[in-house]
Amino acid sequence: TGAATGIAINTAHELGHKPRLLEIVLAKITLAPTFYGHFYTEHNRGHHVRVATPEDPASSRLGESFWAFLPRSVWFSARSAWNLERERLRKLGLPAWHWKNGVLSAWMYSVVLWGAMIAWLGMAVIPFLLIQGIYGFSLLEVVNYVEHYGLKRQKLPNGRYERCSPRHSWNSNRIVTNIFLFQLQRHSDHHANPTRSYQSLRHFDESPQLPYGYASMIVWAYIPYLWRRRMDHRVLRHYSGDVTLANIQPSKRLKILEKYGKTSTF
């Protein structure tokens, strides 16, 4: 069940990018089993703005293991979503704890669903709800980990980051997993053109390419040593050996710079 609700988040992701109220409501309903309704706010107004920058909790860093990324992304994504809604409501002259708070309303879908399940099946269902919820959103986060590992938008002279382009997301043009995941693996086009429907997403040769599809990559992501053997040299190659252009894990920065220097030859 956790796997099903985790994969369903991808459906919520697609619905959440649509402007119609019905699709937004359906997105929040789909997120309810995992208690991850804040994803709708954070993904659209947080992640898509800050993607491939050190400020984005959902963009993994060169040298960062999935197990270090997971708690960071979970906590700071939820906090970011709350802050985004609090600021939006402040501009409307409303308090953060208001029924118009999109994060609170999304969480209420989960409260109602989980409450109904507990009322129907009793307290014994609580461990099941917790396990499937944690496993479900961990699947979302491991995909987040894969999608932008080590990639970084560079700052312009005016202090702003360059515009997001197909070079800032890892792509995988594997047919089977693309079909099952609504073309999510054509992630570069999704970020460059967020409103483009999944069936219209394009493959770009200029995008950095994953060696396998998502189904295989998430397995490697669980094993940091094997992940880094497959991915670190690809990040470096993407930046022509200049590791300083990558999004580096701060705690590993000195070690990585010592290992690779400013430039490396492949």
Q: What is the pLDDT of residue 265?
A: 45
Q: What is the pLDDT of residue 117?
A: 95
What is d(CA 72, CA 54) in angstroms, rounded to the nearest whole number? Answer: 12
Domain ranges of the chain: 2-260
pLDDT digits (tens, 9 = 90+) for 75-127: 999 999 999 999 999 999 999 999 999 999 999 999 999 999 999 999 999 99
Lowest model confidence (mean pLDDT) among 64-68, 73-77, 180-184, 214-218: 180-184
Contact 150, 230 (CB under 8 A): no
Comparing 193 with 71, the larger pLDDT belongs to 71
- Checking if the pLDDT of 21 tops 90, the result is no
Mean pLDDT of the chain: 86
- Checking if the pLDDT of 261 tops 80, the result is no
**CA–CA distances in Å: residue 36 to residues 31, 54, 85, 153, 221:** 6, 23, 15, 27, 22
Separation of first and last alpha carbons in the chain: 44
Query: In b/e form, how buried is each residue of 50-81, taking b as 16+ CB within 10 angstroms?
Result: bbbbeebbbbbbbbbbbebbbeebbebbbebb
Neighbouring-strand partners of residue 171: 209
The stretch 214-234 carries a mean pLDDT of: 93
